Amino acid sequence: MHGYNYGECVNMNTVAAGFELIRLMALAAALLAGLGVAMGLRSILQRGDGHGSRRFVVAMLAASGFIACAAWVFVAAMRIAAGAASGPGGGADSLAAFPASFAATLAIYAGIGFFAGLAAGMFPLAAGVPLVVLTGLATGLAVISIAPWVPWVDGQEAASLSLFPVMEEGSTCVLKTIESDGGRRERSLSLPPGPIAVEFSILSMQGPVLPAFGEKRYRLEAILIGSSRVSVLQENVMLATLKRNGILARVLGCKVTAIQTALFEPSDFGVAVFSLLNDGTIGMMVK
């Protein structure tokens, strides 16, 4: 049995998360640049209104933030390029470390950030407040929707099913699972007779949610026995659930896929252990 190390779950050093974090920091830098430009334009257009000093302070703070974010982006990009240059092939491969679409998506993120900052600075009430509210709502929705899923760790035991003596009317079992906070949960279930399979959902992430939540998560959905389906989802998970091909999943840049294990015949005091494999599938071992 593998130990549970929650620190390994959201790996900020993965390549995909690193690229997305660079894009987000570029967006932040561009947003601050747009805000600074807006303060400058308002100072020109509204000269003598008595708020020049306040706009100057905001512009200086925005400029400082822009410099810090831009410097972070530059250093992070150089570290990736240096890592590629030190590998096989030398400096010729330094740019190959970046995806082909990286420059285009970086420009899109920066453009969105700049115009958002410009609009918020020029029209604080009409544009700034709605942008802050929408950002807060999107962040809260992402946390509510994704946080209940368990981070994927290759080789980690995802669940185990321990069976008690099997009878004609069915069997009683103990289901052990790992929760999203790293704790373990045990529950007793009564199952109808027949071969057993377990259904998992896999959540693959890309876009802005990737650095915060990792590339992949999972959850145990149900136990399948013939035509019967015993759901094992907690009630709070249903608050803002992510479904396959659902609108919420697409909005958050997520993809949900279902995986069903092979069927196995229940036996007296048998134990089925389900593990997360490196190829993104669920392995099963019946003892």
What are the tens digits of pLDDT across the range 151-200? 998 889 999 999 887 777 778 889 999 888 888 888 888 888 888 899 99
User: Residue ranges of the chain with pLDDT lower than 70?
Assistant: 1-14, 83-97, 234-241, 243-245
CA distance 235 to 246: 19
**What was the pLDDT predicted at 160?**
92
Radius of gyration of the chain (CA): 25
Domain positions in the chain = 6-122, 152-286
Q: What pLDDT shows up at residue 17?
A: 81
Q: Which residues pair with 176 in a beta bridge?
A: 160, 186
3-state helix, strand, coil split of the chain in percent (to 5) is 50, 25, 30
Q: How far is CA 140 from CA 20, 146, 147, 177, 209, in A?
A: 19, 10, 10, 26, 12
Which tens digit of pLDDT belongs to each residue from 112-136? 999 999 999 999 999 989 999 999 9
Predicted model pTM: 0.75
Structural tokens at position 70: 């831009």
Q: Within the chain, where are the H helices?
A: 15-45, 52-85, 102-122, 129-146, 210-213, 247-251
